[in-house]
Amino acid sequence: MGVTFLQDASSPPAYDLCSHRSFDVNENARLQDFLGGMRAIAPLIAAVVPIGLVFGAVAATKGLTPAEAGLMSTLVFAGGSQFVAMDIWTHPASWAGVGFAALLVNIRHVLMSASLGTRMGGFGPRERYLAMLFLADEIWAMAEFRAKVARLTPAWFAGLVAPFYLAWVVSGIAGAALGAFLGDPVVLGLDFAFPAVFIVLVMGFWKGPETGAVLFASGAAAVATQHFVPGVWYIAAGAVAGLVAAVVSGSRRGVEVAS
């Protein structure tokens, strides 16, 4: 579907090229993978544009110019930490304050990149590091999902990243430029788009009672930490609790088998 759309009338048909040279077949496979990644990320782009607009609008109220908001989205590309930075923004900006906050909010990326790193057999060493720089939550989740059913390729990953990155940066700049003209996203329920996406993904990772133990530990620890500890420690606390639950239930099973 996407291929016919992209071909203009003047270009020769694809099968003509493929039948003569083998590398054209590879090119075609890569294009198919890239388009597959784009298709997979499409629903999340519909969800990220409103969030990007809101980020830009909030940044504008904190005194950031559209150029500064765009620069932050381009270089940081991590929505959660960008919103937290806006929460604690000062004039002049404190690089140590927002830098440490970003480290704390994004510490989960260490786990995410360790996990996805084991699925990157199809990547060269440099491609791996380059790809990881774009490891936003949504990109990571879709890539993990893909790796369960097929070999994750650089082209497929690039298909995820390119449109999502572009949408995040452009919507951030637009939000900063439009500012107060935008409606309240809370009334429209758009702030709920991402939690909803994550819930759908959590449901997809269900593998049985073991997953239940992980989810319960992670959820309980996250809620308790968020209640008692200010800031964003709850994400790291929940992730570690889920990890511990997996190890404990795994080793208990091992003992049962042994005895």
Partner 1 sequence: MSVDLATLLAILAMAAATALTRLGGLVLIRHVSLEGSRRKAIESIPPAVLMAVVAPTALATGLAETIACAVTAFAALRLPMLVSVALGVVSVASLRAFGI
Task: Find the binding residues for partner 1 in span 23-52 (CB under 8 A).
Answer: 43, 46-47
Of the candidate spans 9-17, 25-33, 77-85, 150-158, the one that interacts with partner 1 by CB under 8 A turns out to be 77-85
Q: How far is the CB of 155 from partner 1 (least distance, A)?
A: 20
Nearest Cα residue to 143 out of 160, 130, 129: 160
- Identify residues 174-193 at the interface with partner 1 (CB under 8 A): 186-190, 192-193
Nearest Cα residue to 128 out of 117, 112, 136: 117
- Is 170 among the residues that bind partner 1 (CB under 8 A)? no
| Burial state string for 152-173 with b = 16 or more CB within 10 A and e = fewer than 16 | bbbbbbbbbbebbbebbbbbbb
- Is 144 among the residues that bind partner 1 (CB under 8 A)? yes
Q: How far is the CB of 194 from partner 1 (least distance, A)?
A: 9
| Among residues 111, 170, 178, 182, the one that binds partner 1 under rule CB under 8 A | 111
- Identify residues 212-251 at the interface with partner 1 (CB under 8 A): 214-215, 217-223, 226-227, 234-239, 241-243, 245-247, 250-251
- Identify residues 47-76 at the interface with partner 1 (CB under 8 A): 47, 64-68, 71-72, 75-76
- Is 81 among the residues that bind partner 1 (CB under 8 A)? yes
- Is 195 among the residues that bind partner 1 (CB under 8 A)? yes
Q: How far is the CB of 98 from partner 1 (least distance, A)?
A: 5
Q: How far is the CB of 15 from partner 1 (least distance, A)?
A: 31
